[in-house]
Structure 1
Amino acid sequence: MATTEEYVTSKQIKTRLKRSAGQLDGVLRMMDENRPCEDVLVQLSAVKSSIDKAMKLVIARNINNCVDAMTTADVQNLEHSLDLLLKTK
């Protein structure tokens, strides 16, 4: 059975992905409206950022499930490293 923490994390991931889908639908509408390239690229960048954050949540959830013996500081260091990795993509 899922713990409250896992449920909240799963809910956060789903919320993030639904937001990303809505943003992507918006990009498609912008394309249909022949909006300027710059506007479309700004929105595509927002979609990419949102997807990256969802990926981070999925990976962080996996790390938490796999590393029960780690200290809180170790987990925070891993999450910080993950943040840096996603920022360099």
Structure 2
Amino acid sequence: MTTTDSGYVTSKQITSRLKRSAGQLDAVLRMMEAGRSCEDVLVQLSAVKSSVDKAMKLVIARNINNCVDDASTPDPSELEHALDLLLKTK
């Protein structure tokens, strides 16, 4: 997972990852239209899934950072919610 030098995830990083995922998905659609083999399509779909998973991790990392930074003493319920989001993505 990439972060800035300060350790924080930026909206630009998340957006960049999602654009990459969208490009990969567009490539899958072109492969389908071209009649590429199931194996080729599945390999690309796996790459799309991995890319989306990485974007989700960036969003979660940003959410957790925000929970910790928003208060001098983090709210346990907000941290618990952030962790619940993490577990739902597994």
Give the TM-score normalised by the residue count of structure 1.
0.68
The two structures, once aligned, show a CA RMSD in angstroms of 2.5
In the alignment, which residue of structure 2 is the partner of 1:41?
42
CA distance in 2, matches of 1:28, 1:37: 12
Matched pairs, number: 71
CA distance in 2, matches of 1:43, 1:15: 18
> 1:19-58 to 2 correspondence within 5 Å?
19-58=20-59
Q: How far 1:49 moved relative to its partner?
A: 0.3
Give the TM-score normalised by the residue count of structure 2.
0.68
Contiguous gaps of at least 5 residues in structure 2: 1-5, 75-85
Contiguous gaps of at least 5 residues in structure 1: 71-81
Identity %: 81
Q: How far 1:67 moved relative to its partner?
A: 1.6
Q: Whose helix fraction is larger, Structure 1's or Structure 2's?
A: 1
In the alignment, which residue of structure 2 is the partner of 1:18?
19
SS at match of 1:34: coil
